[in-house]
Amino acid sequence: MPTAVEYGVPTNRCGLQLRLGQERGIFRDEGIELALRVVFGGPEIAAEFDSGRLAVGEIGTPPGLTALAKGARFKIVGSGVRRGAVQYFVAHSRFADWPDLAGSKLGVLSRGSCSDWYMRRVLAHHGIDPDADVTIRGLGPRYPEIMELLAARELDGAIMSEPHVTIGEEAGLFKVWLGMNKLDFVPPMQWTVAVANDRALADDPGLVAAVLRGCRRSYHYAAENRDEWADFGAHYFKISPATMMKSIERELSDLHFDCQIDFDGLEAAIALQRKLGAMTAPLGLADIVDSRFGAPSQPRTGLEN
């Protein structure tokens, strides 16, 4: 009998390859019946992992590190498929350059989320005070409505991910200005991490390892069956396969399929959070990473060291 596992994700755009893997029986092969649960926002999903209401899932590194520095009861066990910041800044076509954004309303997932952090860094780099010159709106539960908000001019721009970047671009709602993973004014960082609650790690580390194996196999299955990935995503997001394929092709070179942590990138993220004052307590990799989880390849009865 497969073990039911809820896997937490911070937006409805995360985890598509895992949904495909569940449909194709990959997680059942690992003894798991996987269900994805969306908790909109970085701090919000961090609280679910800390409480144990979610045993395993993924979170952006900035809110994850902030929570860990405050004593949150979870550990990093791997990387998400978007190991780097595979997000994009988009703005309405009436804007031509950064100074034009003064007075605009810009959307992010939530206050303290990855997209909020990047929005502030991008604006400041281009001479825009993110607290005085624009209004940054944390959407939270309204995040699924971001396309409608852009269409209705309730938002003038946003930081968002695929496939909705391609959907909105094709609809003429905005132009894509830049990708966060290509910025040269912030160091490359580990951005989406897989985490597990401390109790789950103590009680059933084999289950956590099985989830990671299922994730890895699902990511590789999608990459090796791209047409199927596009068809599955088209059905899930209610778009054409051609649009879904275009979105895949935009971000494919930035995706990582092995769930392996970029430790240099994680160190860079820790250093940056300290610099920004989001973390004041000392925090090393040994404090936040469960080193038992590398690249699991054994059945669920075993766990590599």
Measure the CA–CA gap between 25 and 295, rounded to whole angstroms: 20
SS3 sequence, 6-47?
A: EEEECCCCCCHHHHHHHHCCHHHHCCEEEEEEECCCHHHHHH
Same fold for the pair 3-84+188-288 and 88-182 = yes
List pLDDT tens digits, range 204-231. 999 999 999 999 999 999 999 999 999 9
Q: Is the pTM of this model over 0.85?
A: yes
- Indicate the burial class of 71 (C-beta count within 10 angstroms; 0-12, 13-18, 19 or more): exposed
**CATH code linked to domain 88-182:** 3.40.190.10
Question: What are the residue ranges spanned by the domains of the chain?
Answer: 3-84+188-288, 88-182
Average pLDDT over residues 90-96: 96
Has residue 54 got a pLDDT over 80? yes
- Indicate the burial class of 286 (C-beta count within 10 angstroms; 0-12, 13-18, 19 or more): exposed
Domain 3-84+188-288: CATH superfamily, name plus number: Periplasmic binding protein-like II (3.40.190.10)
Measure the CA–CA gap between 169 and 249, rounded to whole angstroms: 14
Q: Quickly count: other Cβ atoms within 10 Å of residue 296's Cβ.
A: 25
| Residue 295 pLDDT | 45
Q: Which residue pairs from 149-153 have beta carbons closer than 8 angstroms and sit at least 24 positions apart in sequence?
A: 149/107, 150/90, 150/92, 150/107, 150/174, 153/92
